[in-house]
Structure 1
């Protein structure tokens, strides 16, 4: 008799627990399912979306690049380490453009970015953060800062400072 009562109590407890999980946890925003990835700037999170104009004035949306690896590089024309890494970035783009897209987000569009790009023979897309919103969203404090985004839009790596060609190749792996 005692065994049946204990068994019934355990069964009732399991049913209550299951009901609680079903009805209350589903509405709890802190109960994030494993298949859902939040947006943010940390490794393992979805890269925050943005739409910026390129040097030709055309709008470019990050979501257009889903299905491709992306290297997002924040830089400025006045920044010595940024200028230093541009030749390596161009070489990297030419040798890896089939497997990764570079989006170089310029943070000083009031300067003549187009002339800078032409003078340095840069062929990768340069986007202009005219309002500074993307810089704030990605919490860019130091430049250059580079993010590697996977084919699903998830941040794989973040690098602060200039990079050599070899470092760019290593980040891609």
Structure 2
């Protein structure tokens, strides 16, 4: 029984480390991720839109990831003129990720991390992970674990200095 509880605790912890950690270096801006068979960087997306970014790392097998995606969609619809939202799938095939995103009616920019370089640059230890980039395009904070609708809204307001 103890082994079963330990395994369940490990699985739960891997998907829900609930803490905000200090920012990492901004090298993550130059790490490529794939969108529609083209490679992008956060720096390129930032230069196109010139606004803060919220980047969520997710996977189709991560239940907390799937549960929070509708919060990101709602926030995207409310703030798309002021903040760029990006979802990056870290482990599934692009086809599987796209299908799941369509089922969830996600309309913000989606990408994949085919070689894991983007994920490694954020030093991800579990999913979901949400990175917030400020008005200068610099990484301001990383949230490890699921983020509530309220905390997402609070973080967005901080990005917008509201």
**Does the Cα contact within 8 Å between 1:76 and 1:107 map onto a contact in 2?**
yes
* Equivalent position SS for 1:43: coil
Rounded Cα–Cα distance in structure 1 between residues aligned with 2:87 and 2:58: 7
Higher Rg: 1
| Mapped pair 1:135 → 2:131 | no
Task: Determine the structure 2 residue equivalent to 1:153.
Answer: 137
Rounded Cα–Cα distance in structure 1 between residues aligned with 2:74 and 2:148: 10
The C-alpha deviation readout for 1:19-43, integer Å capped at 9, x for no partner, is xxxxxxxxxxxxxxxxxxxxxx942
Query: CA 1:44/1:82 → structure 2, altered by over 3 Å: closer, same or farther?
Result: closer
Rounded Cα–Cα distance in structure 2 between residues aligned with 1:141 and 1:153: 23
| Mapped pair 1:53 → 2:34 | yes
* Equivalent position SS for 2:101: helix
Rounded Cα–Cα distance in structure 2 between residues aligned with 1:122 and 1:70: 16
Please identify runs of 4+ aligned residues in structure 1 that moved more than 3 A: none
State the Cα distance separating 1:151 from its structure 2 match. 2.2
Give runs of aligned pairs for residues 6-155 of structure 1, distance below 5 A: 42-43=22-23, 45-48=25-28, 49-54=30-35, 56-64=36-44, 65-66=46-47, 67-110=50-93, 112-155=96-139
Query: CA 1:100/1:158 → structure 2, altered by over 3 Å: closer, same or farther?
Result: same
Rounded Cα–Cα distance in structure 2 between residues aligned with 1:47 and 1:165: 28
Task: Determine the structure 2 residue equivalent to 1:14.
Answer: none
More helix by share: 2
Greater relative contact order (Cα < 8 A, sep 6+): 2
**Does the Cα contact within 8 Å between 2:31 and 2:121 map onto a contact in 1?**
no
State the Cα distance separating 1:50 from its structure 2 match. 1.7
State the Cα distance separating 1:83 from its structure 2 match. 0.6
Task: Determine the structure 2 residue equivalent to 1:24.
Answer: none
* Equivalent position SS for 1:112: helix
Rounded Cα–Cα distance in structure 2 between residues aligned with 1:47 and 1:149: 12
**Does the Cα contact within 8 Å between 1:47 and 1:153 map onto a contact in 2?**
no
The C-alpha deviation readout for 1:126-146, integer Å capped at 9, x for no partner, is 110011111111111111011
